[in-house]
């Protein structure tokens, strides 16, 4: 990864790179870049980190506002043998203090003051960080020679989503992240493989492991163009001018884009493939995005996995799959051949359950990370005889297809929160997002996100008449819902705000 951009430049890759705004580490370069220019920037940035004191084996923490330069800085750290740790700028100072203590970084690259960071050196991307080096202080030095590391040595550290508390820090190696994930993804598979004439667009949280892997798998096949959105709201402006053929985005971005697909200059008119990871995506989002494409047979690829494991299963959805009175995206497909293996066990005894029974989903995958930094006992508790406990509840059919019901921490007896959310969003088009919370000892509490903060009482009663008992809904605007950097709802925090208590029905031992 440290030489990714240089090697692509040496091979003559002519991929154009378009950004929705200039990079924070190089605003002078503008929003239209080339692979050779990015290769030079990564090499230059490796010199900045070395000048700041980073050495092979050191950890380099990165905390900044969302943009692709998270991954460019990570590649620069890898180039000199350091271990980048990408921490979302959405995290609070209190959470970051905990994570930075676990990391003990030699260098912290940040755009904000972080008291108690513990870093030997702070490299600031903003002028208001007292006592820190600035980029001007480290520019102009020699660019260190690339440092190779063993495939099983730590390569990068990323954190989990943190929907239920302090995120966990997951370490991956070159073998797990690059050789077993990115390399397979870069193959030109039918339908999903990147083609020379493709225009790729990504709207993601670039502090997370997915985009570090995507950076390699997207760049290596040399597509015609890569478009990077640091903010999903820039999609109408940027993608209308540069209509993509392949789009990967956060589920929360797809949910918000439903309101722009009907504009005359539809940004998604040329899309042949949508990719969704990170979180559950509901049928109306999939249907509206597929219908926004003017291609004859656009495809939606839904991936299920975790920061710790990488992708575990894939399912391909067409327009027909999300049409009808009760469409579902709870069926997650099957593992790719040669990839993960899955089993379902009883949550209490861990005894294997027969096909079709609901229980905890366990995975065995060659792309499993190497541990939780600072929480080794927690990692060991989630490994069961060589199987990884995903903390998800679901079932596996006789043909091997996975059906996901809920995260264990979000579950409540007799109800699949995800299934109810699917049905509510499908029946009430004005609901941009439905979140079902599970207060202890009481009916599930639906939170409805609408554009105007309103919902008709009669329409609500009709929509849920055949569903399990639910509490009266709470209607909120999008920005009133607490979220992680990937757009996931912080359900426990939301429950505490609305209910005054944080005790859910489920216990979530395996989150």
Give 87 or 329, the one with higher predicted confidence. Answer: 87
Identify whether residues 438 and 405 lie together within a single domain.
Answer: no
How many residues can be counted in the chain? 511
Give pLDDT, residue 116: 79
Using DSSP, state whether 25 is helix, strand or coil. Answer: coil
**pLDDT value at residue 509:** 57
Q: Mean pLDDT over residues 133-161, rounded? A: 94
Task: Give strand pairing partners of 363.
Answer: 342, 388
Other beta carbons within 10 Å of 413:
8
pLDDT at 503: 60
How far apart (Å, rounded) are the C-alpha atoms in residues 287 and 246? Answer: 16
Q: Which residues pair with 64 in a beta bridge?
A: 88
pLDDT of residue 330: 85
Residue-level pLDDT at 278: 79
Domain count, the chain: 3
Q: Is the pLDDT of residue 504 over 70?
A: no
**Where do the H-state alpha helices sit in 250-340?**
251-257, 283-292
The encoded tokens of residue 198 equal 């493709």
Structure tokens at 28: 């002078």
Check residue 263 and give its pLDDT: 77
Domain that holds residue 383: 330-366+376-409
pLDDT, the chain, mean: 92
For position 135, which CATH number holds?
3.40.50.12780
389, containing H or E segment: strand 387-396
**Residue that has been written with the tokens 């497909």 in this structure:** 333
Whole-number percent of the chain with pLDDT over 90: 72
pLDDT number for residue 335: 86
349 with 492, same domain: the answer is: no
- Examine the domain organization and report whether 428 and 349 are in the same domain: no
Q: What is the pLDDT of residues 153-211, one digit of tens each?
A: 999 999 998 777 789 999 999 999 999 999 988 888 888 899 999 999 999 999 999 99
List 202's β-bridge partners, or say none: 228, 248
| Residue 182 counted as domain residue | no
Q: Please tell me the distance from the alpha carbon of residue 484 to that of residue 299, in angstroms, as a whole number.
A: 27
Do 12 and 113 share a domain, yes or no? yes
User: Taking the complete model, does pTM exceed 0.85, yes or no?
Assistant: yes
pLDDT(511) > 70:
no
**Residues near 312 by beta carbon (within 8 Å), at least 6 away in sequence:** 304, 305, 306, 335, 339, 340, 342, 363, 365, 390, 402
141 has a pLDDT exceeding 60: yes
- Number of neighbours of residue 57 by Cβ within 10 angstroms: 13
Tokens of 495: 């429950």
Residue whose C-alpha is closest to residue 491's, from 451, 455, 445: 445
pLDDT higher than 60, residue 244: yes
Report the C-alpha gap between 169 and 103 in whole angstroms: 9
Kindly tell me if the per-residue pLDDT of 279 is higher than 80: no
In this predicted structure, which of 34-48, 96-110, 232-246, 277-291 has the lowest mean pLDDT? 277-291
Q: Which residue, 419, 402, 411, 397, is CA-closest to 363?
A: 402
Q: Is residue 68 part of a domain?
A: yes
List the beta bridge partners of residue 345.
352, 360
Q: Can you give the CATH number for the domain in which 400 is found?
A: 2.30.38.10
Q: Torsion angle of alpha carbons 385, 388, 390, 391, nearest 10°? A: 30
How does pLDDT run across 53-81, given as a tens digit for each residue?
A: 999 999 999 999 999 999 999 999 999 99
pLDDT tens digits, residue range 308-364?
A: 999 999 999 999 999 887 888 888 899 877 789 999 999 989 999 999 999 999 999
CATH of residue 442:
3.30.300.30
Q: pLDDT by residue (tens digit) across 436-479?
A: 998 888 899 999 999 888 888 999 999 999 999 999 999 999 88
Does the structure show a pLDDT above 60 at 506? Answer: no
Taking the C-alpha atoms of residue 68 and residue 474, their distance in angstroms, rounded to an integer, is 36
Q: Residue 296 domain-assigned?
A: no
User: Within 13 A of 252's CA, how many CA atoms are on the CB side?
Assistant: 20
* Rounded distance between C-alpha atoms, residue 54 and residue 41, angstroms: 17
- Within this chain, do residues 63 and 82 fall inside the same structural domain, yes or no? yes
Is residue 482 assigned to a domain?
Answer: yes
Q: Check residue 415 and give its pLDDT.
A: 86
């Amino acid at each position: 990864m440290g030489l990714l951009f240089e090697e692509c430049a040496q091979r003559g890759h002519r991929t154009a790179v378009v950004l929705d705004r200039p990079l924070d580490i190089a605003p002078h370069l503008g929003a239209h870049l080339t692979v050779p220019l990015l290769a030079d920037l990564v090499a230059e940035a490796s010199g900045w980190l070395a000048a700041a004191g980073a050495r092979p084996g050191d950890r380099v923490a990165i905390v900044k506002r969302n943009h692709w330069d998270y991954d460019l800085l990570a590649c620069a750290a890898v180039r000199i043998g350091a271990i980048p740790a990408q921490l979302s700028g959405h995290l609070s100072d209190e959470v970051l203090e905990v994570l930075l203590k676990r990391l003990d970084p030699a260098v912290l690259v940040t755009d904000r003051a972080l008291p108690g960071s513990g870093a030997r050196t702070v490299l600031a991307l903003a002028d208001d960080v007292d006592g820190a080096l600035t980029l001007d202080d480290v520019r102009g030095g020699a660019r260190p020679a690339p440092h190779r590391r063993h495939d099983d040595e730590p390569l990068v550290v990323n954190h989990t989503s943190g929907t239920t508390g302090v995120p966990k820090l997951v370490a991956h190696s070159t073998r797990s992240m690059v050789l077993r994930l990115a390399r397979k993804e870069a193959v030109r598979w039918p339908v999903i493989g990147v083609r020379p004439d493709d225009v790729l667009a990504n709207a993601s949280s670039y502090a997370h492991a997915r985009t570090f892997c995507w950076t390699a798998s997207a760049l290596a096949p040399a597509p015609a163009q890569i478009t990077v959105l640091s903010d999903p709201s820039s999609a109408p402006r940027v993608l209308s001018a540069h209509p993509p053929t392949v789009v990967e985005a956060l589920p929360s971005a797809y949910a918000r884009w439903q309101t722009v697909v009907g504009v005359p200059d539809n940004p998604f008119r040329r899309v042949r493939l949508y990719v969704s990871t990170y979180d559950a995506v509901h049928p109306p989002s999939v249907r509206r995005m597929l219908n926004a494409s003017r291609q004859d047979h656009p495809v939606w690829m839904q991936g299920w996995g975790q920061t710790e494991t990488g992708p575990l299963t894939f399912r391909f959805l067409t327009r027909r799959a999300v049409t009808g009175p009760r469409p579902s995206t709870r069926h997650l497909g099957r593992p790719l051949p040669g990839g993960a293996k899955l089993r379902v066990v009883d949550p209490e005894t861990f005894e294997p359950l027969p096909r079709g029974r609901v229980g905890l989903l366990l995975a065995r995958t060659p792309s499993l990370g190497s541990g939780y930094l600072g929480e080794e006992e927690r990692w060991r508790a989630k490994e069961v005889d060589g199987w990884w406990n995903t903390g998800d509840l679901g079932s596996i059919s006789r043909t091997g297809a996975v059906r996901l019901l809920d995260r264990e921490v979000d579950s409540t007896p007799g109800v699949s929160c995800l299934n109810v959310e699917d049905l509510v969003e499908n029946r009430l088009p004005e609901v941009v997002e439905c979140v079902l919370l599970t207060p202890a000892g009481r009916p599930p509490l639906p939170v409805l996100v609408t554009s105007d903060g309103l919902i008709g009482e009669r329409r609500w009663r009709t929509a849920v008449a055949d569903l399990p008992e639910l509490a009266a809904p709470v209607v909120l605007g999008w920005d009133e819902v607490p979220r992680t950097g990937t757009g996931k709802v912080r359900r426990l925090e939301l429950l505490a705000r609305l209910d005054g208590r944080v005790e859910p029905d489920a216990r979530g031992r395996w989150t």
